[in-house]
Structure 1
Amino acid sequence: MDTVTFGMGCFWGPETRFGYHSGILRTRVGYAGGKEGQPTSKNTFDYTEVLQVQFNAELLSLEQIVNQFFKQHNTTRAPRSMKYRSLLLFENEEQKSEMLQKLEEIKHIHGNSYTSVEPLHSFYEADLHHQKYYLQRWKPVYEKWQELHVEKESLVESTLAARLNGLSKGCGSLEELMQEFPDSAYDSLWSVIREVRENSKEQSEDMCRLD
C-alpha cells in the first residue's frame, strides 16, 4: 500500500473524484506544506488544503494519479492563496522524480505552471465534518452507511465510504459498487441509493476517470 498527498484547491471535490476509483483504498483530507503553527479549519496559517490517498500500486500507478492531478485543475493560473495552491508532496525519491518529470512536461506544453513540488514534512487531518464531505450531505445514504458500519471502520478508513463519496457527485456507478462489495449485508444500502439517485450526475465521467 502506497500513499501520496497533493493539493488542488478546496479538498472536498478532489476527494470525490479520486475516492471512487477501485485502486484507491482510503482517502482523507487535511493540511500540509506549511511551517507556521498547527493548522485548523478556522486558521490554516501558511498550510494548504490537501488530499491524501492510500492506493494499491498493483492496480493503480503513481503516474496515473499524477496525470489525473494535472488533468483535473488549471495549474497555469496563480492560486488565490496558499490555502488553495497547486501542490504535489513527495515522501521518497521515486515520488519526487515522477512529480518533477510530469511538471516539466506540463511546463513544456503550457509554458508555465504554478504547481509546487515539495517534501511532505507533516500532515494534519481535517475535522471529521470535512471528511467525505459530500457523502455526509447525501443524508439517506450516509445514514444507512452509518447504520451498517457501527463499531467498524471510521469514515476516514472506510474504502466503501470513499466510493460512496465519489458516487454522491456522479463518479462511478452503483453496478461497480455492487461488484466490488458483493456482501448481501449491503443490499439495503443499494436500495437506498436507487431511491435517491434520480437527479442527473453533477460530474462527467471524464473528470472522474483515472487514465
Structure 2
Amino acid sequence: MDTITFGMGCFWGPEARFGYLPGVVKTRVGYAGGKEGQPTSKNTLDFTEVLQIQYDPELLSLDQLLTQFFEQHNSTRAPYSNKYRSVLFYQNEEQKEKMYQKVEEMLQKYGVIYTAVEPLEQFYEEVTRHQKYYLQRWKPVYKKWCQLHFGEESLVQSTLAARLNGLSRGIGTLEEIQSEFQDPILEPLWCVIREELKGEREQTGDTCSII
C-alpha cells in the first residue's frame, strides 16, 4: 500500500470524495506543513488542513490521484489562509517528481496556480469527531454502524467507513458499496441506508415509476 497527503481547503469534503474512489483503502484527516508546535482543532497554528490517503497502487495510480486533486478544487485562487492552502506533500522521490510534473502541467494549462509542493515532515491526526465527518452526522446510519461492532474507533481504519462517508454526500450508490462488501452481517446496515435514501428521494420528489 502507498500513502499520499495533500491539502485542498477544508478537509471534510475531500475526505468524502476521495474515500469513495475504488482503490482507496483508508482515509484520515489532520494537519501538516507547520513549524510552530503541535496543532489542535482549536488552534491549528501555522499548519494546513490535510487529507491522508492509503491506497492500493495496483487499483489506483498516483497519476490518477493527482488528477483528482486538481479536478476537485480550484488551485488558481490564492488561499486566504495557511490553514486552507493548496499543497501536495511528498514522502519519496517518485511522489516529488510526479507532483512537480503535475504542477507544471497545470501551470501550462492555467497560467497561474497556487499549489505548493513540500516534503511531509510531520502529520498530526485530527481527533475522532472530525474523522468521516459526514458519516458521523448521518445519524441513523452511523448509529447502526456502531451497533454492528464497528464504532468510532474504526472510522480511520475502515475502508467501508470511507465509502459510506462518500455516500453520505451523495457520491456513488449503495449498490456499488454492496458489491464491494458482501458480508451478510452488513444487511441491517444496508436496510437503514435504503430507508434513508428512500426518504431523501421522497423529500425531493425524485421517485421512480414503472410504466
Could you state the TM-score of these two structures normalised by the residue count of structure 1? 0.92
Please say if residues 7 and 85 of structure 2, whose CA atoms lie closer than 8 Å, have aligned partners that are also in contact.
yes
Hey, what does 1:97 align to over in structure 2?
97
Please say if residues 30 and 123 of structure 1, whose CA atoms lie closer than 8 Å, have aligned partners that are also in contact.
yes
Hey, what does 1:68 align to over in structure 2?
68
Hey, what does 2:162 align to over in structure 1?
162
Hey, what does 1:146 align to over in structure 2?
146
When residues 21 and 153 of structure 1 are mapped into structure 2, their CA distance, relative to the original with a 3 A threshold, is: farther
Hey, what does 2:123 align to over in structure 1?
123
Q: CA deviation at 1:22?
A: 2.0
Hey, what does 2:197 align to over in structure 1?
197
Hey, what does 1:23 align to over in structure 2?
23
Hey, what does 1:112 align to over in structure 2?
112
Percent identity (aligned): 66
Runs of 5+ unmatched residues, structure 1:
201-211
Q: CA deviation at 1:148?
A: 1.3
Larger Rg: 2
User: C-alpha distance in 2, partners of 1:174/1:37?
Assistant: 42
Runs of 5+ unmatched residues, structure 2:
202-211
User: C-alpha distance in 2, partners of 1:99/1:22?
Assistant: 21
Please say if residues 21 and 172 of structure 1, whose CA atoms lie closer than 8 Å, have aligned partners that are also in contact.
no
Letter of the structure 2 residue corresponding to residue 97 of structure 1 = E
Please say if residues 141 and 192 of structure 1, whose CA atoms lie closer than 8 Å, have aligned partners that are also in contact.
yes
User: C-alpha distance in 2, partners of 1:86/1:185?
Assistant: 40
Per-residue CA deviations over 1:154-199 (Å, capped at 9, x if unaligned) read 1110111000000000111101111101111101110000000132
Please say if residues 132 and 165 of structure 2, whose CA atoms lie closer than 8 Å, have aligned partners that are also in contact.
yes
User: C-alpha distance in 2, partners of 1:145/1:128?
Assistant: 15
Q: CA deviation at 1:149?
A: 2.4
Letter of the structure 2 residue corresponding to residue 64 of structure 1 = Q
Q: CA deviation at 1:151?
A: 7.3
Tell me how large the CA RMSD over aligned residues is: 1.2
When residues 151 and 166 of structure 1 are mapped into structure 2, their CA distance, relative to the original with a 3 A threshold, is: closer
User: C-alpha distance in 2, partners of 1:130/1:153?
Assistant: 12
User: C-alpha distance in 2, partners of 1:37/1:151?
Assistant: 31
When residues 68 and 183 of structure 1 are mapped into structure 2, their CA distance, relative to the original with a 3 A threshold, is: same
Partner-residue secondary structure (3-state), 2:154:
coil
User: C-alpha distance in 2, partners of 1:166/1:27?
Assistant: 11
Partner-residue secondary structure (3-state), 1:143:
helix
Hey, what does 1:188 align to over in structure 2?
188
User: C-alpha distance in 1, partners of 2:105/2:13?
Assistant: 25
When residues 153 and 44 of structure 1 are mapped into structure 2, their CA distance, relative to the original with a 3 A threshold, is: closer
Hey, what does 1:203 align to over in structure 2?
none
User: C-alpha distance in 2, partners of 1:80/1:185?
Assistant: 46
Please say if residues 25 and 54 of structure 1, whose CA atoms lie closer than 8 Å, have aligned partners that are also in contact.
yes
